[in-house]
Structure 1
């Protein structure tokens, strides 16, 4: 590996926004793999680590279990995904996200309709208020 592309775990953490501890955990769980070790024993990574960390973060945000994240990463690395249950899990998550998007769009539209209909009270008290 060329020295210019060898990144220590601290640099990966800094650039990715993750902690060193999190990256070590991902290494220990087999989610990411260092490309080598420095003379001092530090884990070394290349720039490809950032795409993998982004994918892990995305899948975790969808509450995909770590063992499924590992399968996704392995499939991505091999370029072949033949696991129908994993594909079904990802399709189901995509469906859940689409439902949330529809619900949020509806709420957004309702709020804007309410705001469009809102009358400025001009700082006056409501005449129905006897207090």
Structure 2
């Protein structure tokens, strides 16, 4: 059985109604999305449960159905999570993106904060590196005892 589906109609959680689907709509089940994106089914379900991803519809069998826009959203989620941004912030960015309302200032402030945090961590690691280097350079051999 294929993971893409094109039934006559599907239930939309966004409108609460059954909507007609044509063959050109090519809605994808979660397994097909996972395979094409490289993101596990479990992670996609988690993102849906957290409100980060929204299926465009549900099949008669209640399978989540996605359109191709899910791939751009997954890529954005991966980039934001790679920056170690919290899920709440990722959700805010996705919500703003979907609504078309620009939150550039908020996002820039968040990224600046993350940048400062990373600079502090780099400084701490450089200090640790210097301390370890000093320790190794001043090491006294114990003669194997």
Q: Which category of TM-score, normalised to the shorter sequence, fits these structures? A: 0.5 to 0.7
Secondary structure, counterpart of 2:65 in structure 1: strand
Do residues 81 (structure 1) and 91 (structure 2) align? Answer: no
For residues 96 and 36 of structure 2, what CA distance do their matches in structure 1 show? 25
**Contact conserved, 2:52 with 2:91, CA < 8 A, in 1?**
yes
**What's 1:2 paired with?**
22
CA distance in 2, matches of 1:8, 1:59: 24
Distance (whole Å) between structure 1 residues aligned to residue 23 and residue 91 of structure 2: 28
Size of the aligned set, in residue pairs, is 98
Could you list the per-position Cα deviations for residues 13-54 of structure 1 after superposition, in whole angstroms to 9, with x for gaps in the alignment? 000001100000000000000001111111000000000000
TM-aligned CA deviation for residue 79 of structure 1? 1.5
Deviation of the 1:3 alpha carbon: 3.9
Write out the 4+ residue segments of structure 1 that deviate beyond 6 Å after TM superposition: none
Q: Which runs of 5+ in 1 are unaligned?
A: 100-131
Name the structure 1 match of 2:63: 42
CA distance in 2, matches of 1:48, 1:3: 17
RMSD: 2.2
Write 1 or 2 for the structure with the bigger share of helix.
Answer: 1
Task: Say which structure is richer in strand.
Answer: 2
Residue 90 of structure 1 and its aligned partner are, at CA, apart by 2.3
Q: SS in structure 2 opposite 1:7?
A: strand
Are residue 57 (structure 1) and residue 85 (structure 2) matched? no
Corresponding residue for residue 31 of structure 1: 52
